[in-house]
Structure 1
Amino acid sequence: MKTFKPDVIIGDLNLLAGMLAEKAGIPLFQIIRYAFHPKTANLLWWKNKPEGMVSPDVLTIFNPLMSKMGLNSISRAEDLLRGNYYIIPSIPEIEPIPEDSNTKFVGELTVSKKNIETPSWFHELKDDLPLVYITVGGGAGPVGNNKFFQTVADAFSGKPVQVVVSTSTKFNLKELPGSTGNVRFFNWVPGKLLISKADLVIFHGGYGTMMEIVSCGKPSITIPFQTEQEGNGRRLEYLEVGRVIKLSKEKPRRIDFNRAHGAYNLFIQESYDLTPEELYAEAEKMLGDDKYGNNAKALQSKIAMYDGRRQAMDLIEDKLL
């Protein structure tokens, strides 16, 4: 900070950005979403918290430090994300945050790779068969990645659909189910290009992918591996542009911790009982119901009215100049 001497700080869920901005006495623009905004923060907005859930006590960690630095104290963790101005990388339908003169919705704020070189196999995709694009990146978590990819292969092989699966480079394709006539596995594909071509997208609930799906006007199925991802999927489900499928019907297991700054716990899903039949049935239902596609197109028309990066820069320039 002393060397670079910035005029402004832009934070993206960085817990230290607010402390640095306050200490330096410069404006802070927070790129933030409903689940983490100091006024609306609620990671489990669609349901009650699990019985017995205890959050870590961050106050005993941060407040002594903030007092030592001459900064304002916090009353909960989300206060660390306070800013002078807020950039919402979405639209009000997805992020119902109250808008004011210091808060601006800008729509999709992702870097599109749609215009990169098109893979040769892309032209082999047929126009007379539905295309399902599946992307989960490296986020399959403790339930086991191979199980999920095997479920995908078993669910769609031989069915009247064509499926492209993006696994990310974290996985060795030789250790995953082999590609069949209508199901293909790749370490990497041009994501937005596939989304724009697909009739249905199945993903893990990542925010960037979600916003690309919305901007392309596509229905989706979310198979979340953690709470934030499920929250994204539940918002799409609430808007009737998508559905959520859980990896297991069993309740997550509670794990308790005792540390120097107090006790807390977390809930982890270790079981996996999603069957190929269940996955295909959900996909078939989505593909056969025009409601989801029509609603997705309507939502696309709303996000098309925003200009992401340009509007974000307009807010920053307007407040600084």
Structure 2
Amino acid sequence: MKRVLLIPSDHGGGRGHVSRCIYLAKKLQAGGSETAIVLEQKHYQDGIDAGIPSYLLDTKKERFLKFQFKKPFWPRIKMIERVERPPVFLVFNGVAYQVPRDEYLSTRIVLMRFKKLVKIVEQFKPDVLIGDTHFLTFLLGKKFSLPVIQITRLAAFPPAPRFFWWLQDEPRLVEPNAIEPFAPLLEKLAINDVRKAEDLLRGDLYLIPASDQIEPVDGGRDDVLFCGPLTENYRGDQKIPFFDLPVDVPKIYVTAGGGANRFGQQAFFEALLKIFDRRDFKVLVSTGGLYPAKNLNGQSTNVLFVDWIDGMSAIRKSDLVIHHGGYGSMMETLSAAKPSIVIPFHSEQEGNGRRLKELQVGDLHLPYAGKLQDLLFSWPFGVYSMMAGTELALDAEQIISMIDGIYDQSLYARLQKISEELLRLQKNFDALKMLERV
């Protein structure tokens, strides 16, 4: 039986990458494989709690590498010109932006992380590596001549990524020079065909945690496997008194997502309160701990805020879900055959909302008004740009109109078909046979 080491991206929100890998590790364990997972401090306990042998990738000591004896003496990301208001929506165009976000701020940091991962591989002695948007998994595979399985999707699909798949002309942005931090390591490993960030996410097999309808990559390829959601499907039985009482009005669940990183959370939640107060809906809003629910409650009889709730339970008990467009939330709503409206914080989430709209099972509401502003950042490897919407604007009548337009039988028929396909793929996914393909 093969030994498998899973390496998810553990930066940013991170929870989606980690939870997928934990689910996959448990599935492999159940089949008799020996598995282990590499996690940073933020999610390390999650692996322990799941019963997965966990290795800590300690990045705290990297702070000692952020001071150097040559320029830049203090490698960091800096906004060159500040905006008057924090962004409520960000535009970027690919995984290259994840390199500075993941704090690959110097070649020394890259080499230090790689050295730690090398020690973990030497200790665990895996036969297969599985990565989830982690930029060093492919390079580890090259060093140890190990097969690599990459959990991926259309937006970051290494052979042919399509981030702005809904646009003919992509926004003109200056991408981060994402390969430069890895240049010494690439040279050391004699890898000379890496040209863009997605090239660092290559593998021998690509595992797509969806269906080809949701992620239309080239499914005819021998190295692509659609497996359905990498998440437990037995969750969702938590009691929710606010939703459990019988009512004759639609029940709406709103979640901002713990990894949304939206600025101005208070204004966002207050806008939701203003939209739904005294309307014919019963609305449950999870703040995800981004803003105290107690500061918002008591102002409405039909809108309740909570700091945390079991998301799958709330989804299953609701008639409609409003979410930020995170991949996990999208797959949970589709698996539960629930319509949704996406209010995204950034372009990747917008893409998920547009996919739901294209499939005619949801809608999209961009949360800003006015023109997008240019944002310019400097980092040790040059400059890069994004664009931002800084004026929060939730159009109440447009959102209510979207909700009214969702309730038709054809939509539920489409949702049911998509849900059945996802659950079929999930049920038929054989993780052990997957290992035989690499």
| 2:338 matched residue in structure 1 | 218
| 1:124 matched residue in structure 2 | 245
| 1:183 matched residue in structure 2 | 303
Give CA-to-partner distance per residue, 1:3-33, whole Å, 9 cap, x none. 1111111100001111111111111110100
**2:154, 2:216 within 8 Å by CA — same for their partners in 1?**
yes
Structure 2 letter corresponding to 1:49: E
Among 304, 307, 311, the alignment partner of 2:423 is: 304
Give CA-to-partner distance per residue, 1:229-254, whole Å, 9 cap, x none. 11111111111111110101323211
Q: CA 1:142–1:181 in structure 2 vs 1: closer, same or farther (change >3 Å)?
A: closer
Structure 2 letter corresponding to 1:83: G
Give CA-to-partner distance per residue, 1:73-123, whole Å, 9 cap, x none. 301110000001111000000101112222110111123462554244442
Matched position secondary structure for 1:2: helix
| 2:170 matched residue in structure 1 | 49
**Residue 154 (structure 1) aligned with residue 269 (structure 2):** no
| 1:275 matched residue in structure 2 | 395
Alpha-carbon distance between aligned partners in 1 of 2:254 and 2:158, rounded to the nearest angstrom: 33
**1:166, 1:186 within 8 Å by CA — same for their partners in 2?**
yes
Among 369, 373, 377, the alignment partner of 1:253 is: 373
| 1:294 matched residue in structure 2 | 413
TM-score, length basis structure 1: 0.90
Alpha-carbon distance between aligned partners in 2 of 1:153 and 1:132, rounded to the nearest angstrom: 13
Matched position secondary structure for 1:15: coil
Alpha-carbon distance between aligned partners in 2 of 1:198 and 1:50, rounded to the nearest angstrom: 36
Q: Percent identity between the aligned chains?
A: 35
**1:139, 1:225 within 8 Å by CA — same for their partners in 2?**
no
Q: CA 1:254–1:244 in structure 2 vs 1: closer, same or farther (change >3 Å)?
A: same
Question: How much has 1:41 moved relative to structure 2?
Answer: 1.0
Name stretches of at least 5 consecutive residues in structure 2 with no aligned partner: 1-120
Alpha-carbon distance between aligned partners in 2 of 1:179 and 1:307, rounded to the nearest angstrom: 42
| 2:136 matched residue in structure 1 | 16
**2:265, 2:290 within 8 Å by CA — same for their partners in 1?**
no
Matched position secondary structure for 1:306: helix
Q: Which structure 2 residues correspond to residues 24-103 of structure 1 after superposition, within 5 A?
A: 24-47=144-167, 48-51=169-172, 53-99=173-219, 100-103=221-224
**2:254, 2:321 within 8 Å by CA — same for their partners in 1?**
yes
Structure 1 letter corresponding to 2:178: V
Give CA-to-partner distance per residue, 1:188-207, whole Å, 9 cap, x none. 22211221222211100010
RMSD: 2.1
Alpha-carbon distance between aligned partners in 2 of 1:38 and 1:5, rounded to the nearest angstrom: 26
Give CA-to-partner distance per residue, 1:239-282, whole Å, 9 cap, x none. 11111101013232111234442332111222112233333232
Q: CA 1:178–1:139 in structure 2 vs 1: closer, same or farther (change >3 Å)?
A: farther
**1:29, 1:87 within 8 Å by CA — same for their partners in 2?**
yes
Structure 2 letter corresponding to 1:279: I
| 1:104 matched residue in structure 2 | 225
Which range moves more in the overlay, 208-217 or 291-300? Answer: 291-300
Alpha-carbon distance between aligned partners in 2 of 1:243 and 1:115, rounded to the nearest angstrom: 24
Alpha-carbon distance between aligned partners in 1 of 2:184 and 2:274, rounded to the nearest angstrom: 54
| 2:91 matched residue in structure 1 | none
**1:253, 1:269 within 8 Å by CA — same for their partners in 2?**
yes
Give CA-to-partner distance per residue, 1:119-161, whole Å, 9 cap, x none. 44442252x2211111112355454111221121111121112
**2:244, 2:317 within 8 Å by CA — same for their partners in 1?**
no
Q: CA 1:251–1:294 in structure 2 vs 1: closer, same or farther (change >3 Å)?
A: farther
| 2:434 matched residue in structure 1 | 316
Matched position secondary structure for 1:307: helix
Alpha-carbon distance between aligned partners in 2 of 1:207 and 1:153, rounded to the nearest angstrom: 25
Q: CA 1:103–1:24 in structure 2 vs 1: closer, same or farther (change >3 Å)?
A: same
Give CA-to-partner distance per residue, 1:141-183, whole Å, 9 cap, x none. 4541112211211111211121111111232112335462221
**1:8, 1:26 within 8 Å by CA — same for their partners in 2?**
yes
Alpha-carbon distance between aligned partners in 1 of 2:296 and 2:260, rounded to the nearest angstrom: 13
Q: CA 1:115–1:57 in structure 2 vs 1: closer, same or farther (change >3 Å)?
A: closer
Q: CA 1:197–1:144 in structure 2 vs 1: closer, same or farther (change >3 Å)?
A: same
Give CA-to-partner distance per residue, 1:53-85, whole Å, 9 cap, x none. 111112333233211233343011100000011
Q: CA 1:16–1:125 in structure 2 vs 1: closer, same or farther (change >3 Å)?
A: farther
Alpha-carbon distance between aligned partners in 2 of 1:190 and 1:260, rounded to the nearest angstrom: 41
Q: CA 1:66–1:49 in structure 2 vs 1: closer, same or farther (change >3 Å)?
A: same
Alpha-carbon distance between aligned partners in 1 of 2:185 and 2:153, rounded to the nearest angstrom: 26
Matched position secondary structure for 1:282: helix
**2:266, 2:291 within 8 Å by CA — same for their partners in 1?**
no
Which range moves more in the overlay, 289-298 or 7-16? Answer: 289-298
TM-score, length basis structure 2: 0.67
Q: CA 1:203–1:103 in structure 2 vs 1: closer, same or farther (change >3 Å)?
A: same
Alpha-carbon distance between aligned partners in 2 of 1:274 and 1:117, rounded to the nearest angstrom: 31
